[in-house]
Structure 1
């Protein structure tokens, strides 16, 4: 017998709480914190608002767990590319290509801008730590390559932030919707080539 008040689960699908988190993250990516209501999340998940509140007692908790979960999924994808038997250069190109296929920029500061006044210090810190962890694998790979003498950098932490900043620039479009890159198919490679020059010995 299921616990009293617990929404029924569907064994053929992802658990309800996980579906809520993934759906909420998608909504928060497109809209601001204020623009997304618990009703919106419930409707998008095809569940009742009571079900959403059963798993996530407050909107701030839902927001925090949705953002942390999203960044954990991105971290897993990044680590997947880093585990491939490729050079660091090729791994960085693959990561950049995957990032550039995501419709919305993964920018923690943008995420939290509209939510910051609602989130607790602990919630803000949890999101920030998830972002740091999201890119930790790249930092470790850059540090290892530096120690092997394959590249040179004085500051791997700075190098990974510079790399991510350059990849984000790849999402930029001007007022006419034009990209900075004429060769859109090789955009990731152009970005990594530019970044790689800063690591050459």
Structure 2
């Protein structure tokens, strides 16, 4: 029997190699729009238009806005963790690493993440919410480890590494709302304030 002429049953189209690229384009675009304008203000149609694809294409890759938001935000947070780890693992004084990290994080100001999460929360499942929370905590864990190591070596005085990590993150959030200072001055001023507080 010649099986070459047997037609495949209709169903979901075979996933093409370029689908992975489309996924990344959608995630990158969606995360930028969500961070710039918030959850409620951004529609799937806007994301599709920015990507140069149809809304149906987004639904092909992501079943809902909540799913797209969760995946895009966790991907963004995982990337932020990698950048944070790369900077904090350098063989430099803690002050210099923190200042470099502040410069990187302030280079791309965005909306208030807490406000964005408040908007999105009612539409997210418990599992989706936990994924985002865990991804954010992973970044704090990098900072916690760095502060604890500096305490152990005597570079900074003993204290609560978790508190320092959240305080640093809060200062960066405030810095993202600052519009009057130059980037260099702003990151330096924030680290000076934070560093003197630790001392």
Same fold (TM over 0.5): yes
Aligned pair in 2 of structure 1 residues 52, 184: CA closer, same or farther (>3 Å)? closer
Q: Which has the larger radius of gyration?
A: 2
Is the Cα–Cα contact under 8 Å of residues 81 and 91 in structure 1 kept in the other structure?
Answer: yes
Query: Using the alignment, how far apart are the partners of 1:118 and 1:34 within structure 2?
Result: 10
Superposed, 1:27-106 pairs within 5 Å as 27-105=33-111
Aligned ranges for residues 12-31 of structure 1 at < 5 Å?
15-31=21-37
- Aligned residue pair count: 190
Aligned residue in 2 for 1:149: 154
Correspondence 1:168 to 2:173: yes
Cα RMSD for the two superposed structures: 2.2
Higher helix proportion: 2
| TM-score, length of structure 2 as denominator length | 0.86
Following superposition, the deviation at residue 32 of structure 1 comes to 2.4
Q: In structure 2, what is the Cα distance between the partners aligned to 1:23 and 1:90?
A: 32
> TM-score, normalization: structure 1?
0.85
* Deviations, residues 25-50 of structure 1 (Å, cap 9, x unaligned): 01111222222222222111112222
Q: C-alpha offsets along residues 95-119 of structure 1, whole Å, 9 cap, x if unaligned?
A: 0011111121562x22211111111
Instruction: Check the 8 A contact 2:106/2:183 in 1, yes or no.
Output: no
Gaps of 5+ in 1: none
Give me the whole-angstrom Cα distance separating, in 1, the residues matched to 2:101 and 2:147: 14
Residues 1:184 and 1:19: Cα distance change in structure 2 (over 3 Å): closer
